[in-house]
Structure 1
Amino acid sequence: MGEAADRIVASADEGLARLLARTDAHPDADLTESYEGRRVADVLTHLHAWHQLLEGWLADDAAGRTPAYPADGYTWATLGDLNAALEAAHRHLSYDEARAATVASHARAAALVGSMDDAALASPEAFPWLGGDRLASVAHECLGGHYRWAQELLDRAGVPA
């Protein structure tokens, strides 16, 4: 694991631990106003779904296929529709199920990122399907950056830290 991978994974691990401590303390908090009627479990399943996207992109790339980025049938212009589809696909999960899925997919995604060398993570040319984005940035956004988003959402909802 390179230095950049170490930083991304360490930041993500720390961010997820802080987030889970908060959501575990308030699994039934009311997010109605700040997250369009969704539940705390939905925050976690959103994270889980984006971990799965990251895993899929890297698996497709490793198999020599061009990943559908951000997802098959979606563009960055239709990101809201993608997020709605991801939420609908996981809406049935309880808090405990959402938590377990998030922890497991975080571990898999972090291991994948951790196995990347710094040159691949840092080069905007390493993964042409990213359209010039660096994998380090994308991985951070799917992991630690997304955990910060979740914390901010909980802050807006008034969920105690």
Structure 2
Amino acid sequence: MGEAADRIVASADEGLARLLARTDAHRDADLGAVYRDRRVADVLTHLHAWHLLLEGWLLDDAAGRTPAYPADGYTWATLGDLNDALAAAHRHLSYEEARAAVVASQARVVALVATLDDAVLTSPDAFAWLGGDRLASVAHECLGGHCTWAQGLLDRAGVPA
């Protein structure tokens, strides 16, 4: 594994471990208007859903298909709608199910990222479907960056660290 993949995986693993320690201790915390009256479990399913998107992009690309980026029927301009659809699709999961899902999906995605060399991860030309974005940046945002977002959300909702 190259340095870029090492950094992505380390950030993801450390971020998720810290997040789960916090959510495990406050699984029933009220997030209120800070997260549109969603649950702590919904924070985890948000991460899980983005792991699934990243996994799909990587698997589609590896199979020679152009991934729907960010998702079929959505653009970056409709990101809010995509996030609402992802929340609705996973709303039925209990905290325990959401926790297990995010752990499993992260393990699969970091394993995929770990197979990529630094040149592929850091080149803005490696994946035409990314429109010049570097896969390292996209992967970080879907993994460790999302854990940072989740911690900030919990902070704003007043969930103890």
User: Partners in 1 of 2:35 and 2:18 — Cα distance?
Assistant: 20
User: Partners in 2 of 1:11 and 1:67 — Cα distance?
Assistant: 25
Matched with 2:66 is 66
Q: TM-score, normalised by structure 1?
A: 0.99
Amino acid at match of 2:91: R
User: Partners in 2 of 1:26 and 1:33 — Cα distance?
Assistant: 17
Matched with 1:107 is 107
Q: TM-score, normalised by structure 2?
A: 0.99
User: Partners in 1 of 2:114 and 2:102 — Cα distance?
Assistant: 18
Amino acid at match of 1:135: L
Runs (4+) of structure 1 moved beyond 3 Å? none
Matched with 1:129 is 129
Q: Secondary structure of 2:49's partner? A: helix
Deviation sequence 1:72-126 (CA, Å, 0-9, x none): 0000000000000000000000000000000000000111111110000000000
**How much has 1:32 moved relative to structure 2?**
1.0
Amino acid at match of 2:10: A
User: Partners in 2 of 1:11 and 1:86 — Cα distance?
Assistant: 23
Aligned-residue CA RMSD in angstroms? 0.4
User: Partners in 2 of 1:58 and 1:39 — Cα distance?
Assistant: 29
**Residue correspondence of structure 1 range 73-152 to structure 2 within 5 A:** 73-152=73-152
Matched with 1:49 is 49
Q: Secondary structure of 1:33's partner? A: helix
Matched with 1:12 is 12
